[in-house]
């Protein structure tokens, strides 16, 4: 059971030059969330961070609202995985009852919220923030498909991945580019699931083979690749 939310932060990016505390939704964030946003010096980074924290509150409220006390399962995601693109204007008014979220960090630095029956993971790239909420540990990554150096393939991909990429890009550059970002998203999401980040072991792991985890991918956002990773059911 996984719920994924995608938020475009363009509107927030335009407003963030103002006093951050006056922006819609600021008062609905926990103190640690406000501190996290305030530590971001660059306006663009601050917009992505605030968007992510508002999205986290939104997801937490949705999870709490959809909770069926009879079987303790969130009805909103009972069919596996759900993808939703959210507009920034929707967020503040839908966070009617902000959740008292308390954050803690695992040994590898992965954050989790205390005293809730769900796990979360955030990612951002370009103009989008992505949030995954699940009843089990989860990793998510979003990548805007920008130009990249082919040397990254040789340096970070497994032999099987590099061969598949070279075979495809030699006949279709666009499909090769999509494969590059698909594999990179898988690595990021896998590392975030484990809580280790992009270690050498994760980077060299063959994302085309049997990984022992489940991957869910979303290709409906033009110019982006998105991957969610969990341990399966």
- Indicate which CATH number applies to the domain containing 14: 3.90.470
Whether 8 has a pLDDT exceeding 80, the answer reads yes
Which residues does 1 contact at the CB level (< 8 Å), separation at least 6? Answer: 73, 74, 77, 78, 80, 81, 134, 135
Rg of the chain over Cα atoms, rounded to whole angstroms, equals 18
> Are residues 159 and 101 part of one domain?
no
Whether 20 has a pLDDT exceeding 70, the answer reads yes
Domain that holds residue 28: 2-135
> Are residues 111 and 195 part of one domain?
no
Last residue within a domain, chosen from 135, 167, 190: 135
> Are residues 163 and 110 part of one domain?
no
pLDDT digits (tens, 9 = 90+) for 84-107: 998 887 777 778 666 788 999 988
Say whether 214 sits in a helix, a strand or coil.
strand
Overall average pLDDT of the 108-119 stretch? 90
Helices 31-38 and 43-65 meet at what angle, rounded to 10? Answer: 160
> Are residues 181 and 78 part of one domain?
no
Say whether 42 sits in a helix, a strand or coil.
coil
Whether 206 has a pLDDT exceeding 70, the answer reads yes
Q: Which residue has the tokens 């008062």?
A: 27
> Are residues 32 and 11 part of one domain?
yes
Residue 61: exposure state from Cβ atoms within 10 A (0-12, 13-18, ≥19):
middle
> Are residues 105 and 43 part of one domain?
yes
Cα angle at 60 between 229 and 182, to 5 degrees? 25
> Are residues 116 and 35 part of one domain?
yes
> Are residues 126 and 179 part of one domain?
no
What is the count of structural domains for the chain? Answer: 2
Whether 69 has a pLDDT exceeding 70, the answer reads no
> Are residues 163 and 214 part of one domain?
yes
Q: How many CB atoms lie within 10 A of CB 101?
A: 18
Which residues does 199 contact at the CB level (< 8 Å), separation at least 6? Answer: 191
Question: Residue 212 and residue 92: Cα distance in Å, rounded?
Answer: 39
Top pLDDT among 107 and 51 is at 51
Phi/psi of residue 229, nearest 5 degrees: -130, 130
Q: How many CB atoms lie within 10 A of CB 223?
A: 13
Is residue 208 within 8 Å of residue 112, measured between CB atoms? no
> Are residues 156 and 75 part of one domain?
no
Which residues does 123 contact at the CB level (< 8 Å), separation at least 6? Answer: 129, 130, 140, 141, 142, 188, 192
In the 8-state DSSP scheme, what is residue 169? Answer: H
Looking at residue 233, its pLDDT comes to 59
Last residue within a domain, chosen from 103, 135, 167: 135
User: What global pTM score does this model have?
Assistant: 0.89
- Indicate which CATH number applies to the domain containing 170: 3.90.470.20
Query: How confident is residue 183, by pLDDT bands cut at 50, 70 and 90?
Result: very high
Q: How many angstroms from the chain centroid is the CA of residue 175?
A: 23
Say whether 155 sits in a helix, a strand or coil.
helix
**Mean pLDDT over all residues of the chain?**
86
> Are residues 129 and 96 part of one domain?
yes
Last residue within a domain, chosen from 93, 108, 135: 135
> Are residues 196 and 103 part of one domain?
no
Top pLDDT among 50 and 200 is at 50
Is residue 33 within 8 Å of residue 122, measured between CB atoms? no
For residue 44, give Cα distances in angstroms to 13, 36, 81.
6, 14, 30
């Amino acid at each position: 059971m996984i719920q994924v939310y995608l938020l475009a932060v363009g509107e927030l990016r335009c407003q963030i030059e103002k006093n951050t505390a006056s922006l819609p939704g600021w008062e609905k964030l926990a103190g640690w969330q406000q501190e996290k946003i305030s530590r971001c010096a660059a306006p663009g980074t601050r917009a992505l961070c605030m968007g992510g924290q508002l999205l986290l509150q939104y997801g937490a409220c949705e999870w709490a609202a959809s909770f069926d006390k009879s079987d303790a399962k969130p009805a909103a995601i009972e069919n596996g995985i759900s993808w939703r693109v959210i507009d920034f204007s929707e967020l503040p008014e839908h966070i009617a009852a902000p959740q008292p979220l308390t954050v803690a960090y695992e040994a590898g630095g992965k954050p989790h919220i205390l005293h809730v029956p769900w796990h979360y993971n955030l990612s951002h790239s370009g103009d989008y923030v992505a949030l995954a909420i699940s009843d089990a540990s989860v990793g998510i990554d979003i990548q805007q498909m920008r130009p990249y150096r082919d040397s990254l393939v040789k340096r970070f991909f497994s032999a099987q991945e590099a061969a598949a990429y070279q075979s495809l890009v030699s006949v279709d550059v666009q499909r090769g580019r999509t494969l590059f970002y698909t594999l990179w998203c898988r690595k990021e999401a896998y590392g975030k699931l484990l809580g280790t980040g992009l270690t050498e072991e994760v980077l060299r792991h063959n994302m085309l083979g049997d990984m022992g985890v489940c991957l869910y991918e979303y290709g409906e956002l033009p110019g982006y690749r998105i991957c969610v990773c969990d341990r399966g059911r």
